[in-house]
A and B are shown apart, each in its own frame.
Chain A
């Protein structure tokens, strides 16, 4: 217990004595983690948005005008029995025309010259969750096109898939930037600890002479690195939260992204905890790097 007290006391003393280098290490770690956090925030929100859009996806099955009432009933029964179909709504030609007039009141002139109602009847199909992937939808719609009575099948999948691909790139960029910035954080913390080690090299030598083991000497410096990393991560979270609130409240920038303002959010608590743990890990790794050099140089 007394040893633990000694280690904590030594770590706190190191931080207090080297205030400037400690401050620089914390701020730099905070900025590097914040940069990574921006990518992570963007990635998580876009992924959430796409997932939400995928849930809303509908397939429109347009029907031939000459489809008989019996053919319509058969097709409705057949579609209703498909495992891909979660919900099915019939939109008659008249309903389609009424909807068009409601939605596009200024474009009525387009229909006037055509005489009879040119809009086809259709089924609006909501897909079952298991069949919402790009491949599943494509397979099903291709099969559907060959069914008698079906004129055309349409779904708004492409642009959502493009967005999903883009998110894949954001994910890659997040990992690349994250790794780069993590390396920067580790180096900065390693240098901070190295400065502390250099300043205290005589003390370390004395500790060795009185029989202190390597672990006993190193633990305060590992604690110091962990504390620096943790504080850096907490500051990064505060910066990100501040920036996020500022953007949503004052600039309204995220609301322009896909019109998804209500669905955008900050990191969930669990992700925030992981980010702090990542800071702790980076700090500890930075310390370890310095201490490995200490072991080699024997100061």
Chain B
């Protein structure tokens, strides 16, 4: 599903990622661990084409990311979902409109948009807050809204960057349970985190980066 072969990325001549080779199979749940500055966010940015690798190959669903033209990037992104630490919700729009936005962008009918957005909100337990503005929600609820937006178009891959970064342990556990449910439905998950508790709770494959290099790749239960 996701393949990286000898990937390099530099910022101001300093390597942010050095010779990364990694494969993630369809339906896998992978945690990307490492301290701040280890290269986790850079790796995710390469996967959703916010950055281009300086060297190496990245294949997503068999497509070489380096060969995708800028005009093709939106269509690749529509097959993925993203969850951010800072939620990145549109503050002027309701929760429903935020969740419906990826479907609107794809040109779905009003009926399908309403049906799918409602399903996604139900899946994250936020249907009762659909008319609220993001600012009126708690941090946990905002993250659920962000997850609902990420899964609303049934993506094959879901990427998350520190989704529990600013949350207390209980809330973080709740969000990770939600990710497990999503993964159980067949979505491939790659979640960047530096939270050890999350690793223990999820008990799945853990890929660790250190100073831009692949430090370890440990399977579930090992």
Contacts and interface: CB of A to CB of B under 8 A. Distances in A.
A213 B74 contact: yes
Contacts of A6: 104
A211 B110 contact: no
B92 A208 contact: no
A3 B104 contact: yes
A211 B79 CA distance: 9
A211 B78 contact: yes
Contacts of B74: 208, 211-214
Interface residues of B, number: 22
A13 B91 CA distance: 13
Contacts of B105: 207, 210-213, 216
A210 B92 contact: no
Given A2-B104, A3-B104, A210 B77 contact: yes
**Most chain B CB within a 10 A radius of its CB, from A205, A209, A211, A213:** A211
Contact of B149 (A203, A210, A216): A210
Contact of B109 (A2, A207, A210, A213): A2
B106 A203 contact: no
A209 B89 CA distance: 11
A214 B101 CA distance: 15
A1 interface: yes
Nearest to A203: B90
Given A211-B74, A211-B77, A213-B71, A206 B90 contact: yes
B107 A209 contact: no
B106 to A, nearest CB: 7
Given A13-B92, A206-B88, A206-B90, A211 B109 contact: no
Interface string B112-155: 01000000000000000000000000000000000001000000
B8 interface: no
Contacts of A211: 74-75, 77-78, 102, 105-106
B110 A209 contact: no
Interface in A1-42: 1-3, 6, 13
**Most chain B CB within a 10 A radius of its CB, from A1, A203, A208, A210:** A210
B96 interface: no
B48 interface: yes
Contacts of A205: 88
Contacts of A216: 105
Interface string A224-258: 00000000000000000000000000000000000
Given A6-B104, A216-B105, A209 B113 contact: no
A209 B48 CA distance: 8
**Most chain A CB within a 10 A radius of its CB, from B77, B89, B109:** B77
A2 B77 contact: no
Contacts of A208: 74, 77
A209 B104 contact: no
Contacts of A207: 101, 105
Contact of B77 (A3, A202, A209, A214): A209
Nearest to B111: A2
Contact of A209 (B75, B88, B109): B88
Nearest to A212: B105
B84 to A, nearest CB: 8
A69 B106 CA distance: 93
Contact of A3 (B82, B89, B102, B107): B107
A201 to B, nearest CB: 12
Contact of B113 (A2, A13, A203, A212): A2
Interface string B58-97: 0000000000000100110110001000001110100000
A117 B199 CA distance: 124
Given A3-B107, A203-B90, A210 B101 contact: yes
Interface string B25-43: 0000000000000000000
A50 to B, nearest CB: 54
10 contacts: A2-B110, A3-B107, A206-B88, A207-B101, A208-B74, A209-B50, A209-B82, A210-B105, A211-B78, A216-B105
Given A210-B82, A216-B105, 14 more contacts: A205-B88, A206-B88, A206-B89, A207-B101, A209-B50, A209-B88, A210-B77, A210-B101, A210-B102, A211-B74, A211-B75, A211-B77, A212-B74, A213-B105
